[in-house]
Structure 1
Amino acid sequence: MTTALANTRDAPPAPTSAPRPEHAARRGGVLHALQGAPAFGYIGPNWFASVMGTGIVAVALSGLPIQIPGAGVVAAGVWVLAAVVLVVVTLATAAHLCLHPRTAASHLADPVMSHFYGAPAMALMTVGAGAMVAGYRVIGSGPALIVDAVLWTTGTAFGLVTAVLVPYRAVTTHEVREDSAFGGWLMPVVPPMVSAATGALLVPHLPAGQPRETMLLTCYMFFGLTLMVSFVMIAFIWKRLLRHGPGPAGAVPTIWIVLGPVGQSITAAHHLGQVAPTIVPGVYGKGFQGLTLVFGIPMWGFAMMWLSLALLLTLRTARDAHHGLPFTLTWWSFTFPLGTVVTGTSALAVVTGLDLLKVAAVILFAGLALAWVTVFVLTLRGVHSGRLLTAPVR
C-alpha cells in the first residue's frame, strides 16, 4: 500500500537492459533516473496534493484572526507559487494521460491510488479561493473573481464525480479487506465540503434572489454530503487503528487526512453562516448563522483530539529505530488537513473573540508553515534526484 501512496503502482517496469530507475536516481539525478524509464510514466493524481498543501498556506495566512505585518504580501506570494505548481502538475498529468493512457486508466482500478482522484478537484478550488483572499493583490479583484469562479465550477463538477465514482468502484471492483481502511478513503468524498467552504466566497457575487439562495443552499447540500459520508469513513478508519494499528510507516501520514473534512466543515459552517441571514428569509438564516458555533465548537474539540492522536502516532513511527518515517508524497497529508483546522480555528476566533482560539490559530499556523516548508523542500529534492519520478520498488 505504501508504494502506491508514494508513486504509481501500475507503471511498467524499466527494461532489463537499462539500470533500474531508482538506482540511477541515486547516482545522477533526474536525467539518469529517466534513462530507460518512460517519460511522464509515473504521474498519479496524488501529485495534486502538493497544490492543495501549498494553496492552503496562502488561504490560512490570509484568514488569521490577528494582524501580522507583511502577511498579505507573503500570502500572495505563496498563492502565486501554488498556481504555478498547479499548472506544472496539470501539464505533467496531461502528458501522462496522452503518453500512457493504459497506466493512467489503471489508477482508477487501484484500491489505493484511486482514492486520490479527489486531490485534483480540491487543488483547483484551493487555488481559486486563494485568488480571492490573497491572489487579488497580484492579479486584481476582477480577474481573481473570474479565476475563482472557473476553478470552483470545474473543481466542484470533478469532485462530485469522484465522490460517487470512486466509492462505486471500491464497492464493485476493489478488493477490500478488514484492514484496508486508511485516511485516503476520505479523499474522493471531501471535495464537496471544499466546494461548500469556498463557494461561500462566490455567493455575494451572484444576482440577488433565486441565484444567490440556490447557490447557498446547494453549498449546504455539499456540506451534508461530505459530513455524513465522512462519519462513516472515519468510523472504519478508527476501527482499523484499534484492531490493526497505524499500519506501514508510509501510510501513517494519511491518518492526518481525517482532519480535512473536520476542519473544512467548521470553515464551511462559518463562511456560509456569515452570508445566510441576508439570503435565507426569517429565522432560517439566523439558524444557519448559529450553526457556526453550535456545530463548530464541538467539532473543534474532536479536531484537537484527532490532531493529538495523529501527532503521537507520527512521532512514534518516526522514532522507530529500524524504519523511521520514510519520505513519500503522503507527507503532503501533514499540510492541507492541518490547514483546514487553521481556517476553522480562525473562523471560530473571529466569531467568538476568544483569545484562546486566536492563540490556537497562530500556533496551528506555525505548525502548518513548518510542515509545508519541510515537505516542499523534500519534494523538490525528490524530484531533483529523480526518486519521485521513477517506478516504485516492488
Structure 2
Amino acid sequence: MCKTLKIGDSMLDACESKLDVIKNFVPSWFAAVMGTGILAINSLLYSGYLPILKDVSVILFYFNVLLFFVLLVPWTLRWIIFPKNALADLKHPVLSAFYPTIAVGCLVLGADFISIGNNMFWGEVFWSLGAVGMVLFSLIVLFYMFKSDSIKLDHVNPGWYIPPVGLVVIPIAGSLIMPHLTGIWHELAVLINYFGWGTGFFLYLALLAVVVYRFILHHPLPSAMAPTVWINLGPIGAGIVALINMVNNSPFITVKEPFYIFSFVFWGFGLWWSVMAMIMTAYYIKKLKLPYAMSWWAFIFPLGAYVASSHLVYNIFKFQMIDYIGFVLYWLLFAFWAITLIKTSAKVYTGEVFKGH
C-alpha cells in the first residue's frame, strides 16, 4: 500500500518500517502483560513487609492495563494485514505455544482488577475473555501439534507448558468471581474453573515428561530459549494459587486439608525447580551465553506465580520461613522484570526486536 504513494524514500522507509513492526510482531509479546500483572499482585501480597509496595502494585496495575491495549493494536493488525504470517506462527511447533499469552494476559488483568483495582465488573470482563480465549487456544495449539508430522525433538521446549499454564490460571480470578454469581452463571463459572484446572494440570504432567525427556537425552536448549527453563514454575505456582482459591471459594468442599497438603507438597517441587532454574541459567550464562531475546519474559510470570503461591501456602500453614523465601524471590522477580523491561524497551527503540524470526 505504501509503495503506491508518491513520497520520498525516507517516508517510504518509515512506512515499511511500521509495517515490519506488525508483520514481525511475535505472539509472545503478551508475556510482558502476564509478567507485569503478576509482579503487581505480588507487590500487594508482600506490602505487609514494606508498605510502599502497595503503591508500587497500583502503579504497575495501571501501567499493565495501558501495556495490554498498546500491544493489542499490532497483534490485531497482524491478523488483518498479514494473516499468512499470523497463521504460520499458529502452526509453528515452537511459536504456537506462545499464542495463548494474550488470553493469559486477560486472565491476569482480571485478577489485577479484582485484587488491586477492587473492580469486580472489569475483572469479570477480562476473566470471561481470557477464559474463552484460553480454552480455544488450548484446543487449536494442541490440535496442530497432534496432527503435525514435522515436529522433532529439537522443537520440544518448556514453552509448551504455556497452554496448560493458561488453563490452570483460569481459576485464579475465576474462583474470586464465583461467590458473586448465582444460578446458572454460578454453575457455569464453577464448571469452567474446575475444567481449566483439571485439564491444565494433567496436560502439564504429560508435557513435563516430554520436556524432561528432551533435557536428559538431547542437547541443551538454544541460548535464545534458555530462559524458558523457568516456565516450569508457571504451572506449579499458578496451580497452587488456583487450587487454594478454588477450595476456599467452593462451599461444597467441606474437607479442605487434603488440598492444602497437596499444595504444600507441590510448592516443595517448585522450590527444587527454582534452584534448578537458577543453576541452569548460570550454566547458560557461563558456557553458552544468554543474549537478549523476547524469551527473557519467561523469567517473569512463572517465578511470579511461584512467589504468590509461597505467600498463600504461608497463610495456610503459618511457617514463616516459607514467606521469607517468597519475599526473597520477590526481589529476584523484581530484578528480572526491571532488567527485561529495560532491555525490551531498548530493542523496541532501535527496532531490532522487529527484525523477524
Same fold, TM-score > 0.5, yes or no: yes
- Structure 1: gaps (5+ residues): 1-14, 16-30
Identity %: 24
Within the candidate set 64, 80, 99, 1:82 is matched to 64
Are the equivalent residues in 2 in contact too, given 1:65–1:361 (CA < 8 A)? Answer: no
Q: Which amino acid letter does the alignment assign opposite residue 181 of structure 2?
A: L
Match of residue 331 from structure 1: 296
Distance in structure 2 (CA, Å) of the matches to 1:34 and 1:383: 16
Within the candidate set 51, 64, 86, 1:104 is matched to 86
* CA deviation profile, 1:69-125 (whole Å, cap 9, x unmatched): 122211010011111110011011112222211111111121111111111110011
Match of residue 272 from structure 2: 305
**Alpha-carbon distance change, 180 to 39 in structure 1, aligned in 2, over 3 angstroms:** closer
Within the candidate set 51, 63, 79, 2:33 is matched to 51
Distance in structure 2 (CA, Å) of the matches to 1:89 and 1:218: 27
Q: Which has the higher helix share?
A: 2
Matches within 5 A, 1:268-347: 268-276=242-250, 279-280=251-252, 285-287=253-255, 289-320=256-287, 323-347=288-312
Q: Which amino acid letter does the alignment assign opposite residue 309 of structure 1?
A: M
Are the equivalent residues in 2 in contact too, given 1:64–1:343 (CA < 8 A)? Answer: no
Given the two structures, how large is their TM-score scaled by the length of structure 2? 0.92
Within the candidate set 338, 345, 353, 2:318 is matched to 353
CA offset at residue 235 of structure 1? Answer: 0.7
Distance in structure 1 (CA, Å) of the matches to 2:343 and 2:58: 23
Considering Cα pairs closer than 8 Å and 6+ residues apart, tell me whether 1 or 2 has the greater RCO. Answer: 1
1:248 maps to 2:230: no
1:92 maps to 2:60: no
CA offset at residue 150 of structure 1? Answer: 0.8
CA offset at residue 65 of structure 1? Answer: 7.9
Match of residue 364 from structure 1: 329
Q: SS where residue 155 of structure 2 aligns?
A: coil
Are the equivalent residues in 2 in contact too, given 1:124–1:152 (CA < 8 A)? Answer: yes
Q: CA RMSD in A?
A: 2.0
- Structure 2: gaps (5+ residues): 4-12
Match of residue 135 from structure 2: 160
CA offset at residue 346 of structure 1? Answer: 0.6
**Alpha-carbon distance change, 174 to 122 in structure 1, aligned in 2, over 3 angstroms:** farther
Distance in structure 2 (CA, Å) of the matches to 1:359 and 1:109: 43
Q: Which amino acid letter does the alignment assign opposite residue 272 of structure 1?
A: M
Are the equivalent residues in 1 in contact too, given 2:103–2:166 (CA < 8 A)? Answer: yes
Match of residue 225 from structure 1: 199
Size of the alignment, in residue pairs?
346
Are the equivalent residues in 2 in contact too, given 1:34–1:390 (CA < 8 A)? Answer: no
Are the equivalent residues in 1 in contact too, given 2:163–2:200 (CA < 8 A)? Answer: no
Distance in structure 2 (CA, Å) of the matches to 1:127 and 1:265: 17
Given the two structures, how large is their TM-score scaled by the length of structure 1? 0.83
Distance in structure 1 (CA, Å) of the matches to 2:219 and 2:190: 41
CA offset at residue 210 of structure 1? Answer: 5.7
Within the candidate set 179, 185, 197, 1:204 is matched to 179
Distance in structure 2 (CA, Å) of the matches to 1:39 and 1:366: 33
